[in-house]
Amino acid sequence: MPVAAARPISPTASERHRLKKAAWGHKTPHQLRQRAHIVLLAARGRSNAAIAAEMGVHPDTVRRWRGRFADQRLPGLADRKRSGRPRSFTALQRAQAKALACQLPAET
């Protein structure tokens, strides 16, 4: 069974600069750092298997982030929205509860 070729990655100079900042930034969240490293290694022409071995992740992880960057560029490296339970309280109700919590007991 033939293995699909890895998608070629060629970030622009500005994208490369932002990827390097994300990959080496001390305040960057771990997941984004990892994704930026994967894309930078892919841009150097490394194979998915080699990147996975170096980064200590599954090759499917490398394939996912390489593909998302190729399709959507930098915005593709962000987390996607997840489904979940709808909020029970409106924004106004949350603000009122916070305001009440910040008041001194003698005032209420």
Q: What is the pLDDT along the chain (108 residues), one digit of tens a residue?
A: 445 567 788 999 999 999 999 999 999 999 999 999 999 999 999 999 999 999 999 999 999 999 999 999 999 999 988 888 888 999 999 999 999 999 988 876
Tokens 């992880």, located at residue? 61
How many angstroms separate the CA atoms of 40 and 11, rounded? 8
pTM over 0.75: no
How many angstroms separate the CA atoms of 55 and 74, rounded? 20
